[in-house]
Chains A and B, each alone.
Chain A
Amino acid sequence: MKYMVVVLLWVMLGSGAGGAFAADIEITTPGRIAIPTGQPKFLPLGPSDPEVERTIAEVLTHDLDLSGMFEIIPREAYLDDAGNLTLTSAEVNFSQWKFLEAQLLIKGAYRVKGEQLELKVRLFDVDKRRLLTGHNYKGTQSELRRMLHRFVDEILETLTGTRGTFDSNIAFISSATGNKELYLSDIDGHNVRRITNHRNLVLNPDFGPGGRELIFTSYREDNPDLYRRSISSAAEARISAREGLNIAARYSPNGRELAVTLSKDGNAELYLLGANGKIHKRLTNAWGIDVDPSWSPLGDKIAFVSNRHGNPHIFVLDLLSGKIERLTRNGKYNATPAWSPDGEWILFARLEEGVFNIYRIRSDGTDEHPITFGAGNKEHPRWSPDGRFIAYSDDISGEKRLHIMRADGTGTREIRSLPGATSHPAWGKR
């Protein structure tokens, strides 16, 4: 036992015994918050194609900037290696990039043959003078954006160990046809596909297991009923059409069950349904409404909104014990919780002084603070599967439009897809 203690002591000293590590020097502010990166224009291996080059520049700029990890060194400063087709670590003139203080270098080349496209992409570590990752993609020109999104996902994985989610989908509601219907697009708003044609009101989508299907509420039959729909085959089924509300359904992390609000007995309560719509369990039984469930990533808890104590607040239900604890205590109106993929944070929208902004709070109820500010209602926040980004809607322009930002509230931008109102994002896998 004494031996154990000695070994433990030795191990634990190395891990700072509880965080109170007294060091001689403490650095709390990194000098740079982005990696200086060289990213010259991708060069043609055959005839040049301005449209391909424009797309490459647009996608790389969007993804690299949104990631928040890179600071692209201005191209005016580049030396001749930027204009050379040097795509191996033996050929690249790293001294030039080192001179420009680049730590990373992203280079590439393309070849267009009719509709076919070949894309070579490389990420180099300038200091270590070596290739970190690279790919040769072959496909059609229509696949160019996706090749680039995948490459940036791979860059993030190479650097941080966690793959990016630029090559993924966002489901959302748009009123472009005059009715609110469900759509899918890439996360930058490109490649829009309409999913429903219910010609009434479709609401609140969520992705099913593996990202292969969607659930949503639709008034197609004049009642807010719950539907499931396969993305690839367009097969669709109404799985809960109980009297009253069948709304805001969310798949459990293991994909076996849905948490949903039903009001079949008069009051809006949370239920667990099977994927076929059969009731497995009633989860809440309280005066007031219980809505907008969001699963913890482990699937052992559900955050939801309830006005059981008067104003709408976020509560957390422990599914094993059945115990419900109040999470938020501030503000008069808190809505639409979204539990982060790492389990650490719960996002929600709070109405303060007549406007909704997005807040986050740790799942233990500490550190509550806003991450968006000012005018414009910011609502329905949803996480990217890697936890790096948040999609939400903002009506600052007069109508709800989808936006995206980093998890800390920086890097905000609009997702431009369809004209008119776009809202209720859900982030899927690909």
Chain B
Amino acid sequence: MKKEADTLTKPAAVPAVQPQQPMLSAEEIENLYQQDTQGRIDEMRQKRDSRARIERLKQELAASSRAQSPSTTVAAGQVGSVGGSGTQAGVDFNEWIKGYLMEHWTLPRTHWKKELYSVVELRFGPQGERRGFRMIRSSGDPYFDQSVEKAVTELDKLPSPPGKELSLSVKFDPEEKY
């Protein structure tokens, strides 16, 4: 039977095979801990805490906006037009835009995660030219957002002129497949 006391007072009871250098001392481990790991752990803690804070704020916000003005929580307008009125033209273009953006969106499966999605607002002129886009909801992951911006910048022009200004929101939200 091996006694605990033996192993504690003589940690190297089994001789080292090539005892050229001592093991990491407690101080060295402490240093590693200080320099490297603690920083990362603190960073992760902060991220976790800030996520929790944002969630809490969102809930408070949702509660307060419901109490004040129900309409303010509607983030996006109706299909198609700037004022959110919705037109048939808008509906027709939606299918085309969806197909085009899908085809031009490259996203490795490493980034198909439940928590990652972003929303872009696209604006087109009466001749169908893209007048601009704006990321109105970032995924928080720079690579994911870049992949979305890249797809959107590929869409220079609609296949036919809508005849009026068009503004619509597009949500890029890959399903995490199992």
A: which residues have CB within 8 A of B?
A: 5, 8-9, 12-19, 21-36, 67-69, 103, 127, 159-161, 197, 208-210, 212-213, 220-221, 223, 225, 227-228, 230, 232-243, 253-256, 264, 275-279, 297-299, 343, 367, 369, 371, 388, 406-408, 410
Contacts and interface: CB of A to CB of B under 8 A. Distances in A.
A153 B97 CA distance: 35
B29 interface: yes
A235 B29 contact: no
A255 B21 contact: no
A388 B111 CA distance: 10
Given A230-B24, A254-B38, A408-B109, A25 B98 contact: yes
Interface of B: 1-2, 4, 6-8, 11-14, 16-24, 26, 29-30, 32-33, 36-38, 41, 44-45, 48, 54, 57-62, 64-65, 68, 72-80, 90, 94, 97-98, 101-112, 114, 117, 119, 136-138, 141-143, 147, 150, 168-175, 177-178
Contact of A26 (B22, B72, B110, B171): B171
12 contacts: A5-B65, A14-B137, A16-B117, A27-B173, A31-B104, A68-B110, A160-B143, A197-B17, A209-B33, A237-B14, A239-B11, A256-B30
Contacts of B169: 23-25
Contacts of A18: 58-59, 62
Contacts of A234: 16-18, 20
A17 B61 contact: yes
A34 B117 CA distance: 18
A102 to B, nearest CB: 12
Contacts of B44: 297-298, 343
Contacts of A32: 105-107
Contacts of A220: 14
A19 B75 CA distance: 11
Contact of A161 (B19, B107, B143): B143
A236 B178 CA distance: 43
A406 B109 contact: yes
Contacts of A197: 17
B29 A256 contact: yes
Given A275-B29, A408-B110, 14 more contacts: A8-B60, A16-B137, A21-B119, A27-B172, A30-B107, A67-B108, A197-B17, A234-B20, A276-B26, A277-B8, A278-B8, A367-B114, A369-B178, A407-B110
A208 to B, nearest CB: 7
B52 to A, nearest CB: 13
B74 A29 contact: no
A407 B12 CA distance: 39
A23 B32 contact: no
The A interface is mostly helix, strand or loop, or mixed, namely loop
Which of B48, B75, B98, B114: most chain A CB closer than 10 A? Answer: B75
A209 B110 contact: no
Contacts of B105: 27, 30-32
A423 B62 CA distance: 51
Contact of A17 (B7, B58, B177): B58
A30 B102 contact: yes
Contacts of A367: 114, 178
A23 B79 CA distance: 9
Contact of B142 (A67, A68, A161): A161
A33 B17 contact: no
A69 B17 contact: no
Given A21-B137, A208-B24, A28 B57 contact: no
B29 A31 contact: no
A230 B76 CA distance: 59
B137 A264 contact: no
Contact of B110 (A36, A240, A388): A388
B173 to A, nearest CB: 6
Contact of A31 (B38, B60, B106): B106
A17 B73 contact: yes
Contact of A223 (B2, B143, B168): B2
B9 to A, nearest CB: 10
A264 B4 contact: yes
Contact of A28 (B29, B147, B150, B173): B173
A169 B138 CA distance: 35
A197 B98 CA distance: 61
Contacts of A233: 18, 20-22
Contacts of A279: 4
Contacts of B77: 24
B116 to A, nearest CB: 11
Given A16-B75, A28-B174, A343-B44, A277 B20 contact: no
A237 B109 contact: no
A199 B142 CA distance: 50
B8 to A, nearest CB: 6
A33 B30 CA distance: 43
A9 B65 contact: yes
Which of A69, A208, A367: most chain B CB closer than 10 A? Answer: A69
Contacts of A159: 143
Given A5-B61, A230-B23, A298-B48, A23 B171 contact: yes
Contacts of B62: 17-18
Contacts of B21: 230, 232-233, 235
Contact of B45 (A29, A298, A388): A298
Given A24-B80, A197-B17, A241 B106 contact: no
B17 A15 contact: no
Given A17-B73, A24-B79, A235 B136 contact: no
